[in-house]
Structure 1
Amino acid sequence: MAKHKKKPKSLWSIFFRPIKVILFVFLGVMVLGCLAGGIVFLKFQNEIMTCKEKADVIISNTVKTDFSQPTDTRIYDSAGTLIGTINSGHYEYVPISGISKNLQNAYIAQEDRRFYKHHGIDYKGLMRAGVVYLKNKGKATQGGSTITQQVIKNTYLTQEKTIQRKLTEFFAAPRMEDKYSKSDILEFYCNTNFFANRCYGVSEASRYYFDKEAKDLTVWEAATLAGISNNPSRYDPVAHPENATWKRNQIIDNMALCNFITEEEKENAKAQPLTVAKIYEPGTKENYLTSYAIHCAALELMKNDDFVFQYVFNNQASYDSYREQYQELYQAKSDMIRNGGFEIHTSLETSIQNSLQEIIDNRLKGFKDLQENGKFALQGAAVCIDNQTGYVVAIVGGRGTDDEYNRGFLSKRQPGSTIKPLIDYAPAFETGYYYPSRLVNDHLFDKGPKNSGGNYFGNISVREALNRSLNTVAWQVLGDIGVDKGISYLGKMHFAGISYMDNGNSSMSIGGFTEGARVVDMARGYSVLANKGLYSNKTCIVSLESQYDGEIYNGNQADERIFTEDTAYMITDVLKGTLDKPYGTGNGLGLGVPAAGKTGTTNSNKDTWFCGYTKHYTTAVWVGYDTPKAMPGVYGKTYSGKIWQEFMTGINNGLPVMDWDMPATVSLKNVDSTGEKTDAETGRKDLFSSVAEQTAKANGSKWKEEEDRKKVEAQAQRDLESSQAAKQAVEQTVSSLQSLIGELSALTHRDSSTEETINTAYGLLDQLVGTEYYDGLKTQLDEAANHAAYLPKQEDSTSKPQEIGPGVTKPKETVPPVFPGDMDSDEDYFPGIGPGGPDSDVQSVGPGME
């Protein structure tokens, strides 16, 4: 059979069939894309239309003045009085003609290479960013936003990375390009960017960093500024010169890649050292009130970004990672506030602030030494909280008002014994195994802390131990409940000075932090005790308004339960003793109204504290040197305590006298000698919590251990009491015997009672057989008895004296004394027997005597 010849391929099959396939595939993808887009639109059409309408409103109302500096940030006190204005750094708007072409090219090369080709949206850039996103397994390393979109975001929208914001940009960008020219948009961009160090807009940035006008920027200077505005907190050349240099060089490479500069210009620009002039133009000076307000406002902006705050760390890696994230975002938010556009209303009360400042200054005025920077060497700081609202009402960061360093929230210092109620005793009360009357043995431990003054009290109640501020007891309590458990409570109260190195650190029990505690954190911690165990999430921010977004503060943040109401009440009751017990470390600092508090003094008196509260206010006071230094004779009770007392007396004056109400689940019970509650009337009573007891009982095995402990300690206490009674009896016998020995030794004659006294004394001596006192007292008694036996005998006087005349009696004849030396030295002595026999009239006369 003849073979069929293959039909030669036509030009269509060779060249056009593949194109046909590609077209069909492309059309298929387009159809699928349209279907997918249609499904997405149908599902999210409301959100999409909302974003489109928002974009329409933005562009319709846009005017060129929108792209100049925001209004100054203004801060108000609780009465609505302006207490601070933070300007944006002498902002100046610069037209595109006054902006270096190098900067324009740097931005285009780095941010939007198709700027002059697209119409607000760079679809190729979006696809490229999407491909890179997929290649990097979901990690965004390349943005798709155009300069036009960024102008819209910086001026009209928030920095939140949400789909709604991106959609609004997407709809607004083309309309923006319809309304303004490319030159206008690039001009807006350069004037609305932030360049760190309070430099808002290219004009101020050029002056600050390079001491020149924006039109005179060189290639490397322009690349530096473009890098800063990309991420001000990361590429700030003052704070992070290495990061800034790397970013600058990357932008220079991109400028060469886009043919804005030659290879020679590229190499020359990258070879330039990164030097900045840092030309400051003074702005509004911050004070203690405004600096704290800005700090709190920055935290609120971080909350709005859903930043998760952390206070306790498992290891160094988590600690370092968190610190880096926190610092970067915090810096960005605080810079944002200082750059303008915010109105901050606070709870800060100027009159209370002035009073606290004046008292600190007056109490410390005798310390006149200065630091090298001209500030006072000895400093003080204090924070006051209104317990009724939970807001901070005053914060003093140092002596005088010229020091911008606010030690009230910036400085971390060792809290000493003021930490004990918060980390040791309140957490211990929560377990149910500790209560005010529980006994703990106070004694010196090997490798344990020492008590101030070197005094140890043996078995002592938790109440008295806290009032006396005994270190060994606090150390034992935290060790028993677990160091990390105690630290966890500080974390719940948002203490910002806890390090991963504090985990398991038993010295935390007496305030031995790795970093320290802030004054504001101590005040907020004690306010938890004053407010029935609840932590208030309020700071000093009452209202926070953004020029662009309106009210952005969520003031409805719920309080957090830290301790039970029972625990807070019992700790408060104990801490009242600090002020009114004779042995309380703050004795004499009372206010004349119900108050509670705690002193704190660290090693060598380097940090001294007093933290205390009434129903109305909580105040924490710190006194010390910026660089820790010993302060002989200065204690928590002295300067810190006196500042607290004077200030709290003043602000509580005229307010209703209020005490804390005892919860229904707390009862006052009789306690026995072991500190346990009893039905017997003992004359001693203390507080017990049924809530805490139920918590303890819930752990069956632990409860049994505790009951066994109580039995053992009760038996030990009975044994101790028996031993003490026996010891007391011995001591009483010794005392009686010593008295008789003294009586015998002092005799000058003997009579019928002398023998009875000697017999009694030897009877007492027999009771001391086997004791440490026997041998010594026997020797003393033998000598005294011999002395008495050799004395001359004197008859008892039983008849009336013979009268010689009216009112005059005849003196009784005396018997010459007998001296031991006149008796035979080896003759045994028996009571009542001497030379001449019993009652002999024969008297021996000593040498030289008649």
Structure 2
Amino acid sequence: MIRFVLSFFGAIFTVVTLGIVAAAVGIGGIFWMYTRDLPSHESLAQYKPPTISRIYSGEGHLIDEFAQERRLFVPADEIPPLVKEAFISAEDKNFYTHKGYDLRSIAAAGVEAIKSRGKSVRGASTITQQVMKNFLLSGDRKIERKIKEIILASRIEETLSKEQILELYLNEIFLGQNSYGVAAAAQTYFNKTLGELAPHEAAMLASMPQAPSEYHPVRAKERLLQRRNYVLREMRENGYIDSATYDHEVAEPLRSVQNGDFEGFRTALPPRSYFTDEIRRQLSESSQLRADIGRQLGRDFGEGEFFTGGFSVRGTIDEELQKVAEQALRRELEGYDRSSGVWRGTGETIEAAKLKSEDDWRAALAAVSVPRDIVLDGQWYPAVVLQVTDKAARIGIENVDEDKDGHWIEAKDVTWARKKKKDGTLSSKAKVPGDLVDTGDVVLVRAITDKEGKFVRWSLRQVSEVQGGFMAMDVNTGRVIAMQGGFSYQASVFNRATQAMRQPGSSFKPFVYAAALDSGFSPATIVIDAPIEINTPQGVWRPRNSSNKYYGPTPLRTGIEQSRNLMTIRLAQEVGMEVVAGYAERFGVYDNMGPFLANSLGSEETTLYRMVAAYGMFANGGERVVPTLVDRVQDRYGNTIYRHDRRTCVDCDSAALPLGRAPRIESNRERVMDAITAYQLTSMMKGVVERGTAAGTVNLPVPTAGKTGTTNDARDVWFVGFTSNVVAGCYIGYDQPRPLGRGAYGSSMCGPVFQEFMTEAVKKFGGGPFEVPPGGHFIKIDRYTGSPLPDDASGPYVVAEYFRDGQDIMFGLAYDGGFGMGSNLPLFEEVVESGRQVQTSTGQTVVVGPKANFGTVSSGGLY
């Protein structure tokens, strides 16, 4: 009997043992099979989550941010315990005690699944397992993924500490509203930092990981409230908050940015602008800035890294002057647009059914894509026409409360315009608002106020059809302090300051004169101003002056002050277009300029960005300056990976530097033109402002130089000018070039933009006399004839010109470019080769003269 009992229990023991062994082998086999192709968990130790790159102004204010995933990375030791405790209570209360997986939770989930016959399948993943799923595995709900999850979770627990795992989880997890990580979510939902969150707010965030889209704070407010209160109960049961705190927090209403309880974080940021978008473009696309950063990092740098790398970019923008630039350009564009008397509106409408309820039309208006970034004599608001009467139109205005009598557009506000019909024709001049707008039309409006600032009425506005660009830069550092690429960024993101290729017209002429002055000519050199006819493959080219008059022998100074085209062509012919092209390329106006004679009048296209930078080199005495929108770029750890200012401070660290004396700064800048040439040219361009083509519109309290530019038929108008500290430029024209009409000139349209901006810039940056370089002397001359005058001569015809020491000045010698002079000019003349010996700025004697022939002369003809 005993033997039988022993045999029976022995058999049972054997079966059990074999079963255990078989189970162990089976489980081991399963684990071995699933561990063969598992991703490396060790890479998480070096993981750098995608984070937001931010752009700051020169004053350090946050002005924009870019990201693929909106995430603000926060180290574990900077995440408040309250936030950690809320997520642990909601997702994994045994987080600090388990080894990566929780067998009790897995068992409980299994029992629940069996009882519900698979209808209720709740997750049993620990925070560690969720990290594995989010980082290394897919999100499919399969047993294979669960096994892999457990294996990796147990491994990562041996590699990383609990705090490191929690850091990964809280920074990576998606919490809805395009927010990744707890810091970004706190900003998105409450516009708060993590340290400012109350327990009920931390609990709300901890409610999100389960299903962010199903716990929306507006659409699923009640469901989210229930989940939030559950998390608070768990926090109380886990000992993270006491009963009194729980009772207080659970009674708090569910508040959020989305529900209108807090201002959104974006309201603290200015609207995206041409400036910040240009920084994004230069950091993302092929540019010198991107190449410089790539060299610093030792790898390629581009859009992907910028949008995920968490970079801090310190921009050069001056926020106050940027607003002035925007207003100045918009004012001129709108003034021209309204003078044309054409009403185009926005082209957007809202269906009549949505106009009956205020809630409905406000929701519909909010969804319409119209610019909301326009400020000109006050904010411009989107509005919808709710009713049209015989004499007025009632409007509903975004973000403006309804008045008891309603908001109205009056008849006297529309008499300036004619409506542009769908076929392109114009209606008769409007007498009442109904002639321009219909019910349901979306329009832009602004408030008209009196001199005391009191509201008078609402006025219809529209985005200008004519466009333009403006840019201002420090002449010594290249820091771009203001940039406006059009009327409104939200209406058109195309940056006309950096991307638009336009003909600079006469604003190019200073480069012709620079080449001449460096080649031995002087401001007193006489050039013939007389008609020219040139045979070209495209036909006979007959350039003319803007005035359609000819003035005979004239000094160089007068030629640039009065923007004489025929003098410029003759001068370019004398110097040689290859020489002129070389100067334009050296200054960065063009990469490869065609040596065509018409290009001396600015017929080849370039950008405002390049022109302003080139003029900056005139202003600083002829040294190269590279324009930049970025002062410094730092990585996510605060390391500087790019700095624009490469100047060296010679004695900044010297203890012997006397008190009150500024340290010496060495610029190490390349010289692109002779300093005397730069001063001579600047002096001549001062004449443009004082008595030349810009004299009527530019009048600053400090010495100012510049040049106007107007192309054929006034398709583009320009003014680029500078003081001793700041250079600024403007161009205006249609995006699809067409004539601007009679009276459109660089002086009349761009001059006022420059004047308005520089009036404020001078208050901030000052300005003084342009520095006179050594190596020269002043001689008074007659600015009409070029003849030398006694030292005591005075009068409006007298000007003191700066000449190089030792230069052989041949007063009275006239140059005609080989075209013929005065009454001896033949009816028709082809370009002929000629040459002349001149002394250059370096003291050498060289032969310069025309390099152009039939095949290199364009049929341009700009003025």
TM (norm. structure 1) is 0.48
Query: Which structure has the highest strand share of the two?
Result: 2
Q: Max radius of gyration: which structure?
A: 1
**Structure richer in helix, relative to its length:** 1
Q: Which has the higher contact order (CA 8 A, sep 6+)?
A: 2
Scaled by the length of structure 2, the TM-score of the pair is 0.47
